[in-house]
């Protein structure tokens, strides 16, 4: 296990911001970067010249752009001394925080702005050419897109353990309750749903229902990261520390016929808890990447909140509301908030930070002190997700 250089709490996140999600906004990822930067600078009381580090995700429309971080800096009028572009999908926002922490620790920069924006809903065109999807096997049989992949995954889980759809209905309703109280959520998601609404929603790719699925949209979020020492000199009153992180890409490559219900979270989940000196029972809030509800169920089991096949019972027997024993995705998660582009991990990170900053308003978790946030990467052909990441944050 790698050492945990974050445990000293020498790194601080001092601000987070997002923009209101939109469908087919007609804008670009660069536009949303500007909006998020303005909000971050205002919150922190600093100017563009104070930012000397820039970390960005790789938007779908910019896939293959070798100079994306340079283009973002140019559009924002920044002259960073350190840049990072991460291409690990929904893991990129968390990955960029820890990469920025490493750059800050080694003195490469002093104030990093990390941005995760996308506007794929604008064009509807996907220019990627991904060999791992094995299109020659998929397309002739109608295997198209993530819903089909998660349909296979859900069927495999159902055959092994039995899927508890009442538990998924409870999770869907709880996350929607958070979106109703989140001004940045997509407008059409700011309406309550019942368990019956979930169970009666139309089938997309058996057993995936419409209300199991995330909706792609235009939007984004960002955070400011610096050293704790500098934050104190700036007079920052509230800061959040990333205290542990673990990440794995291409889980179990030696198995050519893998069990698709097993994921990298079986490795990085227990590892991140050990690095933080915690057990799953010590986690105050859980903000898991949730492009599909089954992903939350698998993460609960493989990180260690419950045993294999027990995720449904855990959800039914646990209060996951904002005032409950384990609040989950209190801002709606991506499923009820919207997923900017194809990798919206900034949604879950920003909500965790809002809670820890005490900025969540009507959905504020009482006495929020720590949070576990996760990210998920690409879904290769008949394998589980390509990257899994976990981060523990403390106020």
Tens of pLDDT along 165-190? 999 999 999 999 999 999 999 988 88
pLDDT exceeds 90 at position 257: no
Buried b (16+ CB within 10 A) or exposed e, 79-114: ebebbbbbebbbbbbbbbbbbbbebbeeeebbbbbb
**φ, ψ at 108 (rounded to 5°):** -75, -20
Judging by DSSP bridges, how do beta strands 11-18 and 219-227 pair with one another?
antiparallel
The position carrying tokens 């997309």 is 204
**Rounded Cα distance, 186 and 345, in Å:** 16
Helix (H) or strand (E) holding 249: strand 241-249
pLDDT at 188: 84
Average pLDDT score over residue span 209-229: 95
pLDDT exceeds 60 at position 55: yes
Whole-model pTM? 0.94
Average pLDDT score over residue span 39-44: 97
Of 59-63, 283-287, 318-322, the poorest mean pLDDT is in 59-63
Contacts of 313 (CB under 8 A, 6+ apart): 164, 167, 306
The pLDDT > 70 percentage for the chain reads 93
**Rounded Cα distance, 100 and 11, in Å:** 9
**Rounded Cα distance, 26 and 114, in Å:** 23
Between 37 and 385, residue with greater pLDDT: 37
Is there a contact between 216 and 341 (Cβ–Cβ < 8 Å)? yes
Confidence category of residue 64, pLDDT binned at 50, 70, 90: confident
**Rounded Cα distance, 108 and 102, in Å:** 9
Mean pLDDT (the chain, rounded): 92
Between 323 and 124, residue with greater pLDDT: 323
Confidence category of residue 254, pLDDT binned at 50, 70, 90: confident
pLDDT at 375: 97
Extended beta strands in 60-139, E state = 82-86, 111-118
Contacts of 84 (CB under 8 A, 6+ apart): 54, 55, 56, 69, 96, 99, 100, 103
Confidence category of residue 135, pLDDT binned at 50, 70, 90: low
pLDDT at 140: 65
**Rounded Cα distance, 256 and 210, in Å:** 31
pLDDT at 124: 46
**Rounded Cα distance, 204 and 291, in Å:** 14
């Amino acid at each position: 296990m790698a050492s945990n250089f974050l445990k000293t709490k020498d790194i601080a996140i001092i601000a987070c911001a997002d923009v209101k999600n939109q469908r087919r906004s007609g804008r670009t990822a660069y536009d949303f970067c500007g909006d998020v930067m303005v909000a971050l600078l205002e919150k922190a009381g600093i100017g563009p010249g104070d930012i000397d580090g820039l970390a960005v995700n790789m938007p779908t429309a910019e896939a293959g752009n070798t100079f994306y971080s340079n283009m973002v800096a140019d559009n924002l009028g920044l002259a960073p001394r350190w840049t990072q572009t991460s291409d690990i999908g929904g893991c990129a926002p968390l990955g960029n925080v820890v990469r920025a922490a490493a750059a800050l620790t080694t003195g490469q920069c002093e104030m990093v702005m990390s941005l995760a924006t996308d506007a794929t809903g604008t064009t509807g065109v996907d220019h990627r050419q991904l060999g791992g999807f094995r299109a020659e096997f998929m397309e002739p049989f109608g295997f198209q897109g993530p819903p089909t992949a998660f349909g296979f995954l859900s069927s495999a889980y159902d055959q092994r353990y039995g899927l508890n759809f009442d538990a998924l209905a409870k999770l869907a309703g709880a996350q929607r309750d958070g979106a109703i109280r989140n001004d940045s959520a997509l407008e059409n998601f700011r309406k309550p749903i019942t368990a019956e609404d979930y169970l009666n929603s139309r089938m997309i790719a058996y057993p995936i229902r419409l209300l199991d699925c995330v909706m792609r949209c235009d939007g984004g979020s960002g955070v400011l990261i610096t050293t704790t020492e500098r934050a104190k000199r700036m007079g920052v009153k509230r800061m959040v520390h990333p205290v542990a992180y673990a990440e794995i890409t291409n889980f179990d490559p030696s198995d050519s016929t893998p069990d698709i219900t097993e994921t990298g979270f079986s490795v990085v989940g227990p590892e991140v808890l050990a690095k933080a000196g915690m057990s799953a029972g010590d986690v105050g809030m859980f903000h898991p990447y949730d492009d599909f509800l089954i992903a939350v169920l698998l993460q609960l089991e493989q990180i260690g909140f419950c045993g294999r096949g027990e995720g449904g019972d855990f959800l039914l027997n646990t209060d996951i509301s904002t005032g409950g024993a384990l609040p989950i995705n209190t801002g709606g998660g991506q499923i009820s908030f919207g997923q900017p582009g194809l990798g919206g991990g900034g949604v879950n990170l920003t909500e965790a930070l809002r809670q820890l900053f005490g900025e969540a308003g009507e959905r504020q978790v009482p006495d929020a002190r720590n949070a576990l946030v996760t990210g998920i990467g690409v879904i290769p052909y008949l394998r589980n997700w390509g990257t899994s990441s976990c981060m523990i944050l403390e106020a």
